[in-house]
Amino acid sequence: MKINTLKISVCVLCLTTLLMGGCSKEEGGTATLMFKVSNPFAIKSKSGTQLPAIPYANPDLTGDVTQTTMTSLRICVGDVWISQDEIKVGSPDNLNWIKITGPTNQELKLFEDYTFVPVEIPAGTYKSIKMTFKNRFYRIVNLVSNPSVKYELLETMGSTFAPCDHNDENWIQPNYLSTSGNHSIVGGVFQIVQGGEKVAGFTLPSGGTVTLTWRLGAGATEVCTNNLLDLNKNRKWDCGTDDIQINCPPSVKYMAEFVAN
């Protein structure tokens, strides 16, 4: 999804358009895939610094509109799979999925804190990605007028005004990304959620090693402004009541991307 002058709603992947670079094609054998994340906007913390407890005690909002910039997300990514098969609208999920992450993660972590062990998988061209997320996540933002002031904004993967709970441990339906866009399973078959969220595919050459990087900001160096809209005017961030509007410079096209190299 393109995000210039856009109200935030729905899930993390609905904020995330994924693009993939390719390698030279070579079939057969196995290859090593190294999956990692990158967040150029993360504020460096001292070694050993612990994350603040959830829920974080947010400072008051500055007015009806509080201007902030996002530095990270605290989310729960459960599992990630890839497939050489291609998702087709109207068909069931009978794809051959290969899991590229370890045991299912149950914890909310900062985006940049995710690490994964390299995996050896069949060589070939991969066209689809499947990811699972917990419903609850937190947007980490800093006040534009005073970057030392931080907010951790509770949100859900549902609509902007869906009920919110700091204790919510529910999982949402998997996100499926392929050449035709971002999909979900509706009535037992694939349906498109966002046509613009496409995966172009990438190739693992036999005997080679490829790094697949999930990049927050999609390589952008300019930041977007996250305007916190205090709709009930109580100067508190109230998930399910208040809203967020994102304004991005022209250089920022997508919230994130996958890059293979």
Q: Is the peptide bond before 174 cis (omega within 30 degrees of 0)?
A: no
**Domain enclosing residue 97, as ranges:** 6-40+55-260
Per the CB < 8 A criterion, the answer to whether 87 and 189 are in contact is no
CA 183 distance to own-chain centroid = 15
The reply to whether 1 falls in a domain is: no
The reply to whether 47 falls in a domain is: no
The reply to whether 45 falls in a domain is: no
Please state, in angstroms and as integers, the Cα–Cα distance from residue 120 to each residue in 33, 34, 86, following that order. Answer: 6, 9, 21
DSSP string, 39-67: -TTPPP--TTPPPPPSSP-PPPP-SSEEE
Whether the pLDDT of residue 46 is over 70: the answer is no
pLDDT band at 16 (very low <50, low <70, confident <90, very high): very low
pLDDT tens for each residue of 199-227: 778 999 999 999 999 888 777 778 889 99
Whether the pLDDT of residue 19 is over 70: the answer is no
Burial code (b: 16+ CB inside 10 Å, e: under 16) for 173-183 equals ebbbbbebbbb
The pLDDT assigned to 117 comes to 96
Per-residue DSSP letter, 112: G
pLDDT tens for each residue of 86-128: 999 999 999 999 999 999 999 999 999 999 999 999 999 999 9
* Beta-bridge partners for 38: 215
In 3-state terms, what secondary structure has residue 71?
Answer: strand
Distance CA 144, CA 75 (A): 23
Per the CB < 8 A criterion, the answer to whether 40 and 214 are in contact is no
Q: DSSP alpha helices (H): ranges in 97-197?
A: none
- pTM listed for this prediction: 0.86
Query: Residue range 56-85: average pLDDT?
Result: 96
The reply to whether 251 falls in a domain is: yes
The reply to whether 100 falls in a domain is: yes
Comparing C-alpha atoms, which of 221, 257, 231 is closest to residue 69? 221
pLDDT tens for each residue of 227-257: 999 999 999 999 999 999 999 888 777 777 7
Distance CA 58, CA 50 (A): 17
Per the CB < 8 A criterion, the answer to whether 162 and 137 are in contact is no
* Beta-bridge partners for 137: 155
Considering the chain, what is the average pLDDT of its residues?
Answer: 85
Distance CA 199, CA 257 (A): 9
The reply to whether 22 falls in a domain is: yes
Per-residue DSSP letter, 96: -
The reply to whether 18 falls in a domain is: yes
* Beta-bridge partners for 99: 81
Structure-model confidence comparison of residues 22 and 245, the more confident one: 245
Distance CA 82, CA 85 (A): 9
pLDDT-above-70 percentage for the chain: 84
Burial of 86 (0-12, 13-18, 19+ CB in 10 A): middle
The pLDDT assigned to 143 comes to 97
The pLDDT assigned to 90 comes to 96
Distance CA 139, CA 36 (A): 20
The domain total for the chain is 1
pLDDT tens for each residue of 119-145: 999 999 999 999 999 999 999 999 999
Whether the pLDDT of residue 11 is over 50: the answer is no
Whether the pLDDT of residue 190 is over 70: the answer is yes
Whether the pLDDT of residue 174 is over 70: the answer is yes
Whether the pLDDT of residue 45 is over 80: the answer is no
